[in-house]
Amino acid sequence: MVANLIVGGVAAFAIGIWQVLLGFVVVGTLAVVWRTSIWLASTKRGKPDGFHIQRMRLWAARKGFGSAQFISHDSAWELGRPMPGRKR
C-alpha cells in the first residue's frame, strides 16, 4: 500500500493532477485486498475452523510476540525410573 502511495505520488507529480494519487491509492489498495482474499481462501481450503488462527498464535509465540498459550516445545515425558528392558 505504501508502494501505491509512492507510485501514485510520482505519477501525480509527473502529470500534474493530484487526483491520480488518490486513484492509485484506492485502486491499488482494492487490488491488494482482492488478491490477498483469493490467496487466503486457497490456503484455508480443506482445513478445520480455527486452524489458521492457532497456527498464527503459535508462530507469534515462537517469535516472542504475545503470551504463549500453547505448549510449543518438543520433549518426552520421563517417569524418573528406567523401564524394564530399556537402557539409558
For residue range 41-79, what is the model confidence (pLDDT) as tens digits? Answer: 888 888 888 888 888 888 888 888 877 676 666 777 776
Q: What is the pLDDT of residue 55?
A: 86
DSSP helix/strand/coil, 48: coil
Q: What is the pLDDT of residue 86?
A: 61
Q: Is the pLDDT of residue 37 over 90?
A: yes
Q: Which residues contact 18 (CB under 8 A, 6 or more apart)?
A: 12
Rounded CA-CA distance 38/82 in Å is 54
Q: What is the pLDDT of residue 88?
A: 55
Q: Which residues contact 57 (CB under 8 A, 6 or more apart)?
A: 66, 69, 70
Name the residue with higher pLDDT: 88 or 14.
14
User: Which pTM was predicted?
Assistant: 0.50
